Structure 1
């Protein structure tokens, strides 16, 4: 491939700015040099530039999904110590990481004692979902109910409910961490509205403390 004249190069830069192909703009000179050195064809250079731009776009979309999810920390299943938690079925968790349950619009309940890694696994699944560009949302049960209760006061309940019903996958963490979920039938009714609004339409992951798992039905059904 021959060296591109400076005048042509400047026109290309201007077109890249107009099209907002900023990643290609940033690496153009380096890639042009590599193409000349490696005697790449014009089509080979074009494919490489578009591939780099496409990957950059996907990375930005993933970061946006993670930010929108309100995930407080990024957890990786690769870092989870399954040997330490013998009670957890690694094969089952890795199957969940394929995210087929989201496509099937199925829910997941992770129940266990404090410190068993259930929240870690749930957060890792949400991160996986963001990386696959699913619309995801993280919340604790307490924070969700507090926001929904505020919606009753200022008549914005329907708008606030949409924040929890619309995501393709919702993680409700720390169910049973405090007594807010069980303080009144109104709180239970609000929780039920979220579950009912998502049922068979999207996936919900609930992290619940084992001590209240048997009374879970009474929590969501007043």
Structure 2
């Protein structure tokens, strides 16, 4: 076994896949360009680190479980409701994640709430943060299943550790008292410590319609509002705008 084969074997045992793949190529470059030993090793490990970082981004995005990929760059910012336009420059730095602050976007459907939430989530994944996306009804299903299987504490710990949790579609489906308590308990795990984004079609004054418990509703609103961005996203739906444009084109 020659020296190169031995190095490849060591790289395999150490799980340095990119080192194995690039060893011959970089060895040829080193000889041709007369690199020193340190430059050769630097280039070899630099490629390994770059490859791992890219794979980590893909893994984080996959684990976030986004329903679809949306990017902040795709937003037509001038068509967002005014408060949405004002929000983006401040939160796209992702400082709100470092500070453990939450964002609550409320307003009628189709105004860009979910797009902004996913866009921030994708950017967070690319910058090394762990993210979890869920609709509120799906989150309650996960909690109920964990409770039945006696794995609730494990779910709570996992939910608490994410750098960013996105809870979409609060208000589309009503809860019973148990569901409201479950949601309150889970969101309380993150309040003041970890960042959470909530999108809802209802203003706070109407949350009691879905939570069915005035005291619990007040407590949840109080916790979510503390040091949070509260963003009114009421406006004309993108889908309605697009439909009007199509109708106008067909009439030309």
Report the TM-score when normalising by structure 2. Answer: 0.75
Helix, strand or coil for the counterpart of 1:171?
strand
From 99, 104, 127, the counterpart of 1:109? 104
Between Structure 1 and Structure 2, how many residues are aligned? 213
Instruction: Give the alignment partner of residue 185 of structure 2, picking from 168, 184, 193.
Output: 193
Match of residue 45, structure 1, among 40, 45, 48: 40
- SS of 2:78 mapped into structure 1: coil
Could you tell me which residue of structure 1 aligns to residue 163 of structure 2?
A: 168
- Unmatched 5+ residue regions in structure 2? 218-252
> Post-superposition shift, 1:152?
4.3
1:135-146 matches, cutoff 5 A: 135-146=130-141
C-alpha distance in 1, partners of 2:3/2:148? 62
Larger RCO, structure (CA 8 Å, separation 6 or more): 2
CA distance in 1, matches of 2:142, 2:73: 33
Is 1:19 equivalent to 2:14 in the alignment?
yes
Please tell me whether the aligned partners of residues 176 and 212 of structure 1 are also in contact (alpha carbons under 8 angstroms): no
Mapping for residues 86-97 of structure 1, pairs under 5 Å:
87=82, 89-90=84-85, 92-97=87-92
Aligned to 1:3: none
Query: Quick one: which of 195, 199, 205 aligns to 1:203?
Result: 195
Bigger Cα displacement from structure 2, 102-111 vs 34-43:
34-43
Normalising to structure 1: TM-score of the pair?
0.84
CA deviation vs aligned residue, 1:140-189 (integer Å, no higher than 9, x gap): 01101122233444544333333433322110011122x23xx3222211
| Alpha-carbon separation, structure 2, partners of 1:33 and 1:217 | 69
Partner of residue 214 from structure 1, selected from 193, 198, 205: 205
Is it true that 1:75 corresponds to 2:70 in the alignment? yes
CA spacing shift, 1:151–1:132, aligned 2, 3 Å: same
Instruction: Note the alpha carbon deviations across 1:87-108, whole angstroms, 9 max, x for none.
Output: 3544631331221111111111
From the superposition, tell whether residues 34 and 109 of structure 1 become closer, same or farther in structure 2 (CA, over 3 Å): same
